[in-house]
Amino acid sequence: MKIDLTLAEGLKTPLYYYDRSLLEATLKEINDCIKGTPIKVHYAIKANCNPKILKVIADAGLGADCVSGREISTAIKAGFQPDTICYAGVGKTDRELIGGMKAGIAYFNVESLEELEVLAGLAEEYGYKPNVCLRVNPNIDAHTHHYITTGLEENKFGIHLSMLGQAIDFTKKSSFLNLVGLHFHIGSQITITEPFKVLCEKINALQKEYAEKGIEFKIINVGGGLGIDYDNPDENPIPDFKGYFDTLLQNLKLKPGQELHCELGRSVVAQCGALISKVTYVKKGVDRQFIILDAGMNDLMRPALYGAHHKIENLTAPKDAAIECYDVVGPICESSDTFGKDEKLPITKRGDLIALRSAGAYGESMASTYNIRTLPESVLV
Ligand code: LLP
């Protein structure tokens, strides 16, 4: 990713800076990989729902994976066709379910028997017959941060395997629901292939079990989760989509005509974004010095929430400047408002511009106004 701040002149920091050419190259790589395969990619818009970003992704022909009524309306406004939108979430309200049916989305990823009953009731009342994928909780450890592991029995997501038969029976018997597939999602920022292979094996076993009962699924949706390289964004700007899709295609026993859907979020947008911030103070402490940024945990929450680390770069200091050790922090009244400890950076001064890299996913979309701060601005260059 190239950060050319002359193109962002006049904009205030903290600023989300997005590189359109990297985003487009990433989308081209995805489209090249899936050409001629049964794979369809639904971009998980929770990762970044900035309208400028959404439009580029919709123009590239991806579908959308949404998790709220407002994500659905935002996706449609940005140019995603309703019939390419799927909708997951454990707590869809009546209003959101009705909205999804009215909008004509492709299908609902239903997460419980309770939700199935409500959706069937609303479908009858409003005169719809929505498509349904049943979200299965496959009880797989994704080996990622426990806050973003979703496929374990202890998590709130999906239908427990022991209740899946009941959910399939209910859906098939209902005159108001149309069963189209199974949905899975085991977690996020998964950087090893093992959990995806285990998922494929579980799916194969389930397909075999249900095929024996005469039940076939048109769609297998494996969710998202492909991780990115936060430490080396310049060496690995585009994730290994080929390896990921090959793992799925080689391990899943898809039936003829069956579609394989993926819901990629982070891997599509993370590397094309950086949070640009200005140094407000360089503060001397006892045995340490702090770079205090004008960006805080409200602008980029991942370090405070998950202990995540985004590569930190000084964009202003000369390349040959001497290196010093700093703690890089924000202005918020919490100690977790820290972007890096013992960071080796060129000698930094008040007014320097600092980039927090790989912030295109779950950065701007999770920003808040905590401490009554304004939301960060953004630019797509
Ligand atoms: N599908 C479902 C049902 C999901 O819940 C998620 C993410 C995705 C797809 C997209 O996963 P991805 O490809 O982006 O890994 N805020 C956290 C990540 C939370 C992920 C939530 N679900 C973070 O900043 O790391």
Count of CB atoms situated within 10 Å of the CB of 369: 9
SS3 content of the chain, % helix, strand, coil (to 5): 35, 25, 40
**Distance in angstroms (rounded) separating the CA atoms of residues 206 and 181:** 12
Q: Which atom of ligand 1 is found nearest the CA of 109?
A: 3
Residue 376 CB–ligand 1 contact under 6 Å: no
CA of 263 from ligand 1 middle (Å) equals: 9
Q: Which of 251, 138, 153 is nearest to 202 (CA)?
A: 138
Given ligand 1 and candidates 266, 275, 358, 366, which is best to mutate, with the most ligand atoms within 8 Å of its CB? 266
**Cross-strand partners of 286:** none
CA of 266 from ligand 1 middle (Å) equals: 7
In this predicted structure, what is the pLDDT of residue 142?
76
CA of 143 from ligand 1 middle (Å) equals: 14
In this predicted structure, what is the pLDDT of residue 144?
73
DSSP annotation of 319 reads T
What is the distance between the terminal CA atoms of the chain, rounded to a whole angstrom?
11
**Distance in angstroms (rounded) separating the CA atoms of residues 221 and 234:** 31
Q: What is the pLDDT along the chain (381 residues), one digit of tens a residue?
A: 889 887 777 789 999 999 999 999 999 999 999 999 999 999 999 999 999 999 999 999 999 999 999 999 999 999 999 999 999 999 999 999 999 999 999 999 999 999 999 999 999 999 999 999 999 998 888 777 777 677 777 788 899 999 999 999 999 999 999 999 999 999 999 999 999 999 999 999 999 999 999 999 999 999 999 999 999 999 999 999 999 999 999 999 999 999 999 999 999 999 999 999 999 999 999 999 999 999 999 999 999 999 999 999 999 999 899 999 999 999 999 999 999 999 999 999 999 999 999 999 999 999 999 999 999 999 999
**Distance in angstroms (rounded) separating the CA atoms of residues 154 and 200:** 21
In this predicted structure, what is the pLDDT of residue 148?
67
In this predicted structure, what is the pLDDT of residue 28?
98
Residue 66 CB–ligand 1 contact under 6 Å: no
